[in-house]
Amino acid sequence: MTDISQQIQDIKETLRKTPHHKATNHFIGLMRAKIARLKDKEMETLTPLRQSSAGRTSFAVRKQGDATVVLVGPPSSGKSTLLNKLTNAQSKVAPYAFTTVNVIPGMFKYNEAYIQILDIPGLIEGAKEGKGRGKEVLSVVRGADLLIIMTDVQRIDLIKKMVSELEGAGIRINQERPRVIIDKKTEGGIEIKSNIRQELETETVKEIAREFGIKNATITVNEKVSLDRLFDAFAVSRVYIPAVFVVNKIDLKLMENEYLEISAEKNIGIDKLITEIWNKLKFVSVHIAEGAIVMKEGETLSDVAAKIGSDFSAKVKSAKIWGPGAKFPGQEVSLFTKVQEGMTVKF
């Protein structure tokens, strides 16, 4: 790891000494690609930990329920209080830093969905380098379905710093994956296809692909791609996670900002936060004979049948629907029909 960090620093030093003009753009792009590839390799170590032979406390937590939400914030920002408010967990609460030294799981139910909440040690600057057990913390964050990135009214500026820390660890917040398709082949070199006029030269894209170990492939670019987005497309360690930004302890000082304001202690804004969690997770309630079942936007009736059971789904050929999505009550539809909130289904 130290060797990788040194290589990154050496390249950054080279870039610092390189004049920026049109003649050096190609070289600078390739140097940045080398940094991105090295960081990608570095991030591969951020995987959920297991119990070691030395007995080290593990941060690996088994995911349960319909989704896992991780509370991310600096020490003493109220994460433990919020966890206790939302769930039946009893995370230790105290007015000093680093109260949480392990992952504390809890579970709450909303609209038939069981949502797991994880309280983790506070995220501090330098986490990706290992400060404050940062690598263990980030390993849990990378496995989340949703992040609640929170701070208190006295430290609102830390939200941008935390996002920067997460970005540096290969975690992309509220972003879609680059629309770049990489079809690897055994021979034939690299072919670039795109119906969109690109600012990056084709040869630059090819050389960046080679830097990431891609030697033979058809690469189809379906967006106007920047260097950073191209690095993300080729990197294997990137994860894309939605997030809700929360400012806690508003009972101490009211402020106007673009973040969701709550007071976990005074139970202010909690209902709004729960609704936002549901919306960000893109959950959909579908009604079947046995009751309501929780699905996700974009899933189909075939997915509903599969969730009921593999034996059941193997026998299902079509379905009838009522309510949202139905042109008339009891409309017979194919299993490729997408679910909608409040839809009633009979297979």
Q: Give the tens place of pLDDT for each residue, 12-32.
A: 888 787 887 767 777 877 888
For residue 44, pLDDT over 60 is answered with yes
pLDDT tens figures, 146-201: 999 999 988 888 999 999 889 988 999 999 999 999 999 999 999 999 999 998 88
The more confident residue out of 130 and 88 is 88
pTM over 0.75: yes
Q: Which residues contact 176 (CB under 8 A, 6 or more apart)?
A: 240
Pairing of strands 190-193, 217-221: parallel
Cross-strand partners of 294: 285
Q: 259: helix, coil or strand?
A: coil
CA-nearest of 80, 58, 59, 83 to 69 is 83
* Residues in contact with 85: Cβ distance below 8 Å, sequence separation at least 6, in sequence order: 264, 267, 270
**One-character DSSP codes across 277-335:** HHHHTTEEEEEETTEEEEEETT-BHHHHHHHH-HHHHHH---EEEESTT-SSTTEEE-T
Q: Which domains does the chain have, with CATH numbers?
A: 2-44+178-234 (no CATH), 67-175+239-280 (3.40.50.300), 283-346 (3.10.20.30)
Helix or strand or coil: residue 107?
strand
pLDDT of 17 reads: 77
Round the average pLDDT of the chain to a whole number and report it. Answer: 85
- Sheet with 180-184: list strands edge to edge: 180-184, 217-221, 190-193
**Which tokens sit at 26?**
């190609």
Q: Residue 35: which region, alpha, beta or left (left: phi > 0; alpha: psi -120 to 50)? A: alpha
> Tens digit of pLDDT for each residue in 282-337?
999 999 988 899 999 999 999 999 999 988 889 998 899 999 999 999 999 999 99
First to last CA, the chain: 54
Identify the burial level of 141 via C-beta atoms within 10 angstroms of its C-beta, where 0-12 means exposed, 13-18 middle and 19 or more buried: buried
The tally of CA atoms less than 13 A away on the side-chain side of residue 292 is: 14
Q: 316: which 2 tokens?
A: 């299902």
Q: Which of the pair, 126 or 47, is modelled with greater confidence?
A: 126
- Written as six digits, the tokens of 171 are 């975690």
Determine contact, residues 284/294, Cβ cutoff 8 Å. Answer: yes
Residue 58 has pLDDT above 50, yes or no: no
User: Which is nearest to 174 in space by CA: 257, 279, 250?
Assistant: 279
The answer on pLDDT for 128 being more than 70 is no
Residue 41 has pLDDT above 90, yes or no: no
